[in-house]
Amino acid sequence: MTYRLFTDMFERLQKKWNVTPGRLFLILVTFALGGSATGYLGKRIMPFLGIESPWLYVPVYIIVVTIIWPIMVLAVSIPFGQFNFFRAYIAKLGRRMSGKRTAANTAKTPRRPLPMHIAIFASGTGSNAQKLLEHFDTTYWLPGWQDEEQLGVIRLIVSNNPGAGVLEIAKEHGVPVLMLEKEKFFRGNAYVDELKEREIDLIILAGFLWKIPKPLIDAYPNRIINIHPALLPKYGGKGLYGRHVHEAIIKAGEKESGITIHYVDEHYDHGDHIFQEKVPVDPTDTPETLAKKVQQLEHAHFARVIKEVIEKQNRR
């Protein structure tokens, strides 16, 4: 019975934090050692405070260990390779203990839908993925807590390119990675089972170059969103991505370009539009300078539009 309770708790934490069993073990060891170090240091500090009253000793001791616990846990996490996890964990704990949510206002405010679990698909450097990671929470949040402003949680980075820069970005943020195998993606179930197992609600394509297969579209209707570096329906379709788009626009003598954020269907760059923004194409522009202009639009608007989409879907 005790063993079953322990394994159930272990599985719940692993699922909640979306980490491997090995990493969860290191996290729990860090918690234990950090707590022990906190208690030891707290007892060594107390004699220097000169508190003689037993009624005052306990509350002061609690305050002392509360202050030093984050420092000790972060220090212990470094040799175990879990510093990013605990930095995010402690930051979130601090936000949620800052008084933003109290029992009084919680009783009056209806509970919002849980944050959407997001998977980012990317094939390249990951500049858009980086911006999304800066705007949304990553995989770590405290069990049983709900942030009223937390619209989305990025739980997974998905890539088809083992050399993609986005993989390093995922590592820096401590976000798990799923690598796609071409045969399974196009002739299998398109990794639907793996995404559902991770409770993914929304897929964002941020420079992902493979066409999305029908099984994945059917599993996530109006839940797959792409950003394209042109004003669709012009300059979209197979082979028109990245530099190729900008070259085609300049060659055609277009006076403007921009971005299109849209839902994904079975065809390249074809789904319903969510948002467009324009930028002028100057006579002196090159594919490189035009790419920089378009990228500025992407970074300015992509995360904001995704948040608006999530808010609308949560209200349904």
DSSP string, 272-301: PEEEEEEEE--TT--HHHHHHHHHHHHHHH
Of the candidates 117, 228, 246, 262, the residue annotated as catalytic is: 228
CB 119 within 8 A of CB 202: yes
The set of residues, in sequence order, having a beta carbon less than 8 Å from that of 225 and lying 6+ positions away, is 202, 203, 204, 205, 261, 262, 263, 264, 274, 306, 309
CB 77 within 8 A of CB 30: yes
Token pair 């904001």 is found at: 304
Report the 10 Å Cβ neighbour count for 166: 28
Q: What is the DSSP letter of 7?
A: H
Active site residue 173: no
Please choose, from the candidates 121, 184, 192, the residue with its C-alpha nearest in 3D space to the C-alpha of residue 158.
Answer: 121
| Catalytic positions, written as ranges | 228
